[in-house]
Amino acid sequence: MPSPSRRTVLATGSALGGTLLAGGLPAPATAASGAAGADSSDPWRTVLDDADLVWQRMPKTWYEGPFLGNGFLGSGIYAEPGRETEAVRFNVQHSEVQDHRPEFGSLFGLARLPIGHFTLEPVGTITGLDWRLGLRDAELTGTLTTDQGTLTLRALVHNSHSVLAIEVTPSEGERDFKWVFHPAKAISPRADFRPLPEGYAVNPPAETGQLDGISTAVQPLLSGGQHVTAWRERTRGRTRTLYAHVAHSYPKSTALGRATAAVRSASLLSYDLLAVTHRAWWRAFYRKSFLSLPDARIQRFYWIQLYKTASAARRDAPVMATCGPWVESTPWPATWWNLNVQLEYWLIHGSNHLELDAVTRALSEFRDNLTAEMAPAYRADSLGIPRTTDASLVNGGATGPVLGYGVGIPGQDPPTPEVGNLTWALHNVWLSYRHTMDESILRDVLFPLLRKAINYYLHFLEPGADGKLHLPATFSPEYGGNSRDCNYDLMLLTWGCRTLLESAELLGIDDELAPRWREVLARRAAYPTDENGFMIGADIPFAKSHRHYSHLLAVYPLYELTGRTPDEKTLIERSLAHWVGFEGALQGYTFTGAASISALLGKGEDALTYLGQLMSRFIQPNTMYKETGPVIETPLSAAQSLHDMVCQSWGGINGVIRVFPALPAAWADLTVHNFRTQGAFLLSAVREGGVTRWVRLVSEAGAPCVVRHGITGPVDVRDGRGRPLRYDSVGDGTIRVALRKGESALITAKDDRPDLRIAPVEPNEEAPRWGLPAM
């Protein structure tokens, strides 16, 4: 660890010195301490500046270039294809822009639609560049060099104005550079990979024009409505600034007025003035948590994922589609609910960013649309979510000529009755409840929706000759073939019944279905297994390479099976080895899942090995990811795998907070601050030289606090004023502390007086930055 002189105390501007331990820890830093001119010893500034992506070569694809966004508007930046030395592309895409023709299904008729892009076209031939994507301010800065001079640029997608602002200061030889907007054809990106459905017509071309000095590209839609790109360039001295905004409206055509008004308002501000509120939001965002570890490449990757998530997600934005707000040519132009959504949002919990939780909001807001995805006979008391939907959770394929991915009927509905997706999505909602202890999430969203999701299963459970309750054939995502007692569904059914019973007790509800839920837990068929571990289902062994861990959900992320007995641990280990042992179809999230399962088992070295394979085999230069087309869930889930190595708090209302449960030996030093755990605790802890020095927990809800602190031998436990706290030892390095809402506990080795300040740890070795550094 760095010497105390290099550390920054948590309290803004405080210098508490040796009084830190006696007084507990100071209050967490506020956003104000991230203001311009902050001392370079500020830990957030240090790790964020270190994580900046750099480009000293021209990026040529979405997978190489910088990216900007605010959950709605997004821009990916790279060379214009076919004109690499002549122009730079700034994509303009928006997460609300989609088609509205449900008769053609979610992948064509409701698909995200491409909007277009600007090209920055210099006077001369591009000969070089030097760019930096600064995470701390969410801005791209740098120079573009040509044989005629230089173009110095700054660019951002503003957090609240939702404009793409690009300031360019040219040298004399580049004064006549130009911007050109290229509208995209308003057609589903899936058309590049699959034939268009019969009867599908392409939307008419965009209409470009001017309105009160603002340029516009108005895209009418055959379904009604429109999306509009509006832009304006302002010149101030030698500097020219482009302001662009996208608006979408359906069924009315009101986007034009909103788009031009947004550009008119934003363009009154210089880039510097516009950047003030933008930078303030981002600096406050990062300060909600802190993580530093001695692997420089992985630490930088982690902070980039936080930047990426905040660029792609907001609570009030659409649930992330597979490529976030950055639409490109892709066969996946929708929101995927059989893995992608769940993985995209896991990291918001531990990193303390529940303000990004669009899943809970969307499932609540659009719950009525889920009823229509069920067969008519089950709409009165059941809910489900199809494999793919648009932003309002509509699939559309069940009512039109295109085969959709609606919720099938177990045992009846070929080819893929994929039943468990809503229950799995509601596990994310459960995590949001558990990490905040916000009872409104439990009462208003989770319980009523989960009740109907599980009720759908109850229609089909039947007793077998063995007296057990069995499921007819359903589909385990992506493996192929339907199976009775499919593990994907049995595991989700089990978690769902257990969670409903716990929720009813917490809410004081005497539910008439509670006896049935208890019966399911007592009598449901055992998870099908064979000599290789978990099967896909009773009819299908796991016998080929498969990227998805749908057959392992009871292990991760549901934590229904955790290796609590030797036999259970052996079963998990055998299943994991068998799953990853088949090369051929493995993909990036195979390795994030394997890392998290290894972390559950306390195998930090294995977890790090799996993350290493992910980084070397799948992660692209800008930390993006691809499977045929752009998809973003895998890098985001890798951040959650890191969380699982640093802290685990599964176990529901009786859960244990496990500090540093699966760290590899190489991570002898590690610092975490304000990591949010289940039970609504904020965890801060420091590890030095392979030893946990101190652990601090702040209770936000007064929930039961049981912590496996990892400190060897007797401990001291103190409150926020440094006074001894009573605690109970429950064995295995675990203690129980009674904390009311707002109270804290500091745990140290007995008579130890560690330095309680937060700082980045020193890297074990140098590592290249993400981006495209010089060869």
20: pLDDT strictly greater than 70: no
pLDDT above 90 coverage of the chain, percent:
89
- Predicted local distance difference test score (pLDDT) of residue 28: 37
Q: How many domains does the chain have?
A: 2
Strand pairing class (67-69; 53-55): unpaired
- Predicted local distance difference test score (pLDDT) of residue 611: 98
413 and 533, same domain (yes or no): yes
Average pLDDT over residues 449-459: 98
Average pLDDT over residues 641-661: 95
3-state secondary structure 629-670: EEECHHHHHHHHHHHHHHEECCCHHHCCEEECCCCCCCCCCE
A 10 A CB-CB count for 591 gives 27
β-bridge partners, 384: none
Residue 358, helix vs strand vs coil: helix
Confidence category of residue 628, pLDDT binned at 50, 70, 90: confident
35: pLDDT strictly greater than 50: no
Strand pairing class (126-134; 139-146): antiparallel
- Predicted local distance difference test score (pLDDT) of residue 465: 96
Confirm whether 653 is domain-assigned: no
696: pLDDT strictly greater than 90: yes
CA separation for the pair 677, 705 (Å, rounded): 11
Write out the two tokens for 331: 């066969």
269 and 416, same domain (yes or no): no
Contact at 8 Å (CB) between 730 and 737? no
Chain Cα centroid distance, residue 163: 23
How many H-runs (helices) and E-runs (strands) does the chain carry?
17, 36
- Predicted local distance difference test score (pLDDT) of residue 355: 98
386 and 278, same domain (yes or no): no
14: pLDDT strictly greater than 80: no
260 and 386, same domain (yes or no): no
399 and 536, same domain (yes or no): yes
Average pLDDT over residues 733-758: 96
CA separation for the pair 500, 596 (Å, rounded): 26
680: pLDDT strictly greater than 70: yes
- Predicted local distance difference test score (pLDDT) of residue 361: 98
544 and 395, same domain (yes or no): yes
The residue from 530, 549, 568 where one domain ends is 549
pTM: predicted TM-score of the whole model, two decimal places:
0.94
Which DSSP category does 193 fall into? T
pLDDT digits (tens, 9 = 90+) for 497-519: 999 999 999 999 999 999 999 99
Which DSSP category does 202 fall into? P
Confidence category of residue 732, pLDDT binned at 50, 70, 90: confident
- Predicted local distance difference test score (pLDDT) of residue 396: 84
Confirm whether 707 is domain-assigned: no
Confirm whether 109 is domain-assigned: yes
112 and 227, same domain (yes or no): yes
Where is average pLDDT lowest: 134-148, 195-209, 386-400, 745-759? 386-400
CATH number at residue 539: 1.50.10.10
Strand pairing class (164-170; 178-183): unpaired
Confirm whether 168 is domain-assigned: yes
Confidence category of residue 308, pLDDT binned at 50, 70, 90: very high
pLDDT digits (tens, 9 = 90+) for 267-283: 999 999 999 999 999 99
Among the listed residues 55, 122, 48, the one whose alpha carbon sits nearest the alpha carbon of residue 85: 122
212 and 98, same domain (yes or no): yes
The residue from 286, 314, 337 where one domain ends is 286
276 and 386, same domain (yes or no): no
CA separation for the pair 101, 65 (Å, rounded): 33
Confirm whether 159 is domain-assigned: yes
Rg (CA), the chain: 27
Confirm whether 401 is domain-assigned: yes
Collect all residues with Cβ–Cβ distance below 8 Å to 261 and sequence separation of at least 6.
none
Confidence category of residue 345, pLDDT binned at 50, 70, 90: very high
pLDDT digits (tens, 9 = 90+) for 79-105: 999 999 999 999 999 999 999 999 999
Average pLDDT over residues 595-601: 98
Where is average pLDDT lowest: 393-402, 414-423, 596-605, 665-674? 393-402
Confirm whether 455 is domain-assigned: yes
375 and 279, same domain (yes or no): no
Mean per-residue pLDDT over the chain, rounded: 93
Write out the two tokens for 82: 């076919």
- Predicted local distance difference test score (pLDDT) of residue 17: 25
Residue 341, helix vs strand vs coil: helix
CA separation for the pair 352, 746 (Å, rounded): 20
Domain enclosing residue 280, as ranges: 53-286
Confidence category of residue 589, pLDDT binned at 50, 70, 90: very high
Write out the two tokens for 346: 């896991």
pLDDT digits (tens, 9 = 90+) for 310-325: 999 999 999 999 999 9
Collect all residues with Cβ–Cβ distance below 8 Å to 555 and sequence separation of at least 6.
561, 562, 572, 575, 597, 600
271 and 127, same domain (yes or no): yes
- Predicted local distance difference test score (pLDDT) of residue 545: 86
Confidence category of residue 480, pLDDT binned at 50, 70, 90: confident
CA separation for the pair 669, 513 (Å, rounded): 50
Average pLDDT over residues 650-677: 96
CATH number at residue 87: 2.70.98.50
Average pLDDT over residues 663-686: 98
DSSP calls for 444-468: IIIHHHHHHHHHHHHTT-EE-TTS-
My answer on whether omega of the bond before 386 falls inside 30° of 0, hence cis, is no
Confidence category of residue 584, pLDDT binned at 50, 70, 90: confident
Cα separations (Å) of 199 from 73, 103, 202, 226, 592?
31, 10, 10, 21, 41
576: pLDDT strictly greater than 60: yes
Collect all residues with Cβ–Cβ distance below 8 Å to 209 and sequence separation of at least 6.
215, 216, 218
A 10 A CB-CB count for 263 gives 26
SS3 helix, strand, coil % of the chain, rounded to 5?
30, 25, 45
Strand pairing class (388-389; 335-336): antiparallel
676: pLDDT strictly greater than 90: yes
- Predicted local distance difference test score (pLDDT) of residue 401: 37
Confidence category of residue 406, pLDDT binned at 50, 70, 90: confident
Confirm whether 618 is domain-assigned: no
239 and 382, same domain (yes or no): no
A 10 A CB-CB count for 183 gives 18
The residue from 286, 318, 341 where one domain ends is 286
441: pLDDT strictly greater than 50: yes
